[in-house]
Amino acid sequence: MDDDTRRLDVPMPDGLVLRRAARDTLRSDLAPLVTAFSDPWTDEEWAARSPAFVVERIVTAFDGEEPVACAGAEGFMLTVPGGEVAAGGLTLVGVLPTHRRRGILRAIIRQQLDAYRARGEAVSILWASEGAIYQRFGYGLATIRSAFEVDRSRVAFLRPADPIGRMRLVTLDEAHRLFPPIYDAVRVVTPGALTRDASMWRLGVLYDSASAAGEAGPKYLAVHETAGVPDGYAIYRVKPGWEPRGPKGALSVREVVGTSPAIESAIWRWVLDIDLVAKVTGDMLPTPPALLLALAEPRRLGVTLSDGLWLRLLDLPAALMARRYAMPGRLVLRVADAFCPWNAGTWSLEVDGPRDGTAWHQARVAPAGTGDVPDLDLDVADLGAAYLGGTRFEDLRAADRVRELVPGAVRRADRMFAADRTPSCSTMF
């Protein structure tokens, strides 16, 4: 594919041009990402990871023949309360330091969001390097992730528990076969969770590079089985270490998944009891992590919080109708959206009783009538933050992000948007 064929008819600042990436030039097309993050791929990592990149959804801005900025996308189904929605995942974003503050990123994100919407993806999601960048484009903080670091010798559970099944270490091939069905069983009931295709499992979740193993120790894969049936798993690394007083290995948990709270708890108890380990860390956990409430001394877990998944509504009516609601009711929302103006305006969200035999309620969303009085005044980023049910409208009001125009509307909105499970995402992209 030549440069003219790859060129996109997209307005760009300063005479730059935007082109689609090509497989044979992909490494140079993504060079701005490597420079922006100062994190070059080794040849081994590039050979292993690059096949997972969706080349047709990657774009690069060129200043003459120099690639100066890039962005890519992945398509997911995102679990929402009572259902799922098609989501465009913004990723691989980088701008050279020589070309910042010139509107290049804005133009690229404009092209990307328009492309997602054209594909029928009602929302866009991302993991932010810096949240301030993406809030400018209407992304709201939809999940809060927690992490922990604990001295293993100081871990004591509040209550004893008998083993439910047994843990066993498995090979990479076994993990590819056993882990995805377990993950999917939990994904469909966890708002914020994302679908994972075979490529994501092989090249993302389970992949282990020599450099990663050297830095944090080799990756281990363990399955939990009850009566011979796989129903949970753990993915973790162990970095060995020794001192005159004994072992000081460091265990870092990538993911623990169980198809029930009891199974997940059993896996955590097993992980926290692995020998020759002095410190255990974990990341990408919901807030609060269930482990926090299981310990006799919760503060020893050393939990820290950070931003998780950021979410932007691209097709406001479609997104709001894709999810279900915890109770019937009606809200009139006055929404501002400077970057995607088709979402801006006053919308009526009317939730009826169940129509599909479940406890969830469906919604109809349409432009509000001329006589409708808005209940809430908010930005599209704030609606995105509340979309999964993890960020309360009351918290947004406390942060001066939402204005209540009708008394009681915030409480009504929180009751309608409530999720029955803490939103969480453990899939990086």
pLDDT tens-digit profile of 109-155? 999 999 999 999 999 999 999 999 999 999 999 999 999 999 999 99
Spatial separation of the C-alpha atoms in residues 285 and 280, rounded to whole Å: 14
User: Which H or E element spans position 107?
Assistant: helix 104-118
Instruction: Give residue-wise pLDDT tens across range 4-37.
Output: 789 999 999 999 999 999 999 999 999 999 999 9
Residue with tokens 């120790």: 217
Is the Cβ–Cβ distance between 217 and 239 less than 8 Å?
yes
Q: Does residue 429 lie in a domain region?
A: no
Percentage of residues of the chain with pLDDT beyond 70: 98
Q: Reading across the β-sheet that carries 219-226, which strands appear in turn? A: 166-169, 219-226, 229-239, 249-258, 277-285, 144-151, 304-307
User: Number of folded domains in the chain?
Assistant: 3
In which region does residue 216 sit, left (phi positive, over 0), alpha (psi from -120 to 50) or beta (all else)?
alpha
Q: Does residue 139 lie in a domain region?
A: no
Q: Does residue 268 lie in a domain region?
A: yes
Spatial separation of the C-alpha atoms in residues 384 and 128, rounded to whole Å: 15
* pLDDT of amino acid 3: 72
Instruction: Give residue-wise pLDDT tens across range 274-310.
Output: 999 999 999 999 999 999 999 999 999 999 999 999 9
Verify that 51 and 110 share a domain, yes or no. Answer: yes
The domain containing residue 331 runs over which residues? 317-417
Instruction: Give residue-wise pLDDT tens across range 30-71.
Output: 999 999 999 999 998 899 889 999 999 999 999 999 999 999
* pLDDT of amino acid 4: 75
Task: Estimate to the nearest angstrom the gap between the alpha carbon of 71 and the chain centroid.
Answer: 17
Tell me whether strands 329-336 and 345-351 are parallel, antiparallel or unpaired. Answer: antiparallel
Task: Write down which residue in 307, 327, 343 finishes a domain.
Answer: 307
- Please check the confidence at residue 372 and state whether its pLDDT lies above 80: yes
Verify that 328 and 301 share a domain, yes or no. Answer: no
* pLDDT of amino acid 211: 87
* pLDDT of amino acid 353: 74
Residue predicted with more confidence, 73 or 2? 73
Catalytically annotated residues: 134, 429
Average pLDDT of span 319-324 = 98
- Please check the confidence at residue 88 and state whether its pLDDT lies above 90: yes
Average pLDDT of span 313-333 = 97
Is the Cβ–Cβ distance between 155 and 398 less than 8 Å?
no
Verify that 259 and 359 share a domain, yes or no. Answer: no
Tell me whether strands 83-95 and 402-404 are parallel, antiparallel or unpaired. Answer: unpaired
pLDDT level of residue 321 (50, 70, 90 thresholds): very high
Verify that 328 and 258 share a domain, yes or no. Answer: no
Domain with residue 11: its CATH number is 3.40.630.30
Provide the H-helix boundaries in 309-390.
Answer: 316-322, 380-386
Residue with tokens 């009850």: 226
Instruction: Give residue-wise pLDDT tens across range 158-212.
Output: 999 998 999 999 999 999 999 999 999 999 999 999 999 999 999 999 999 888 8
- Please check the confidence at residue 2 and state whether its pLDDT lies above 80: no
Is the Cβ–Cβ distance between 223 and 232 less than 8 Å?
yes
Verify that 259 and 332 share a domain, yes or no. Answer: no
* pLDDT of amino acid 75: 97
Spatial separation of the C-alpha atoms in residues 419 and 375, rounded to whole Å: 21
Q: Which of 336, 325, 408, 329 is nearest to 377 (CA)?
A: 336
Spatial separation of the C-alpha atoms in residues 394 and 371, rounded to whole Å: 26
Verify that 165 and 300 share a domain, yes or no. Answer: yes
Verify that 291 and 356 share a domain, yes or no. Answer: no
Is the Cβ–Cβ distance between 428 and 394 less than 8 Å?
no
Spatial separation of the C-alpha atoms in residues 297 and 294, rounded to whole Å: 9
Is the Cβ–Cβ distance between 377 and 410 less than 8 Å?
no
Q: How far apart are the first and last CA of the chain?
A: 27
Angle in degrees, CA 382, 365, 138, rounded to 5? 25
- Cross-strand bridge partners of residue 346: 334
* pLDDT of amino acid 355: 58
Instruction: Give residue-wise pLDDT tens across range 233-275.
Output: 999 999 999 999 889 999 999 999 999 999 999 999 999 999 9
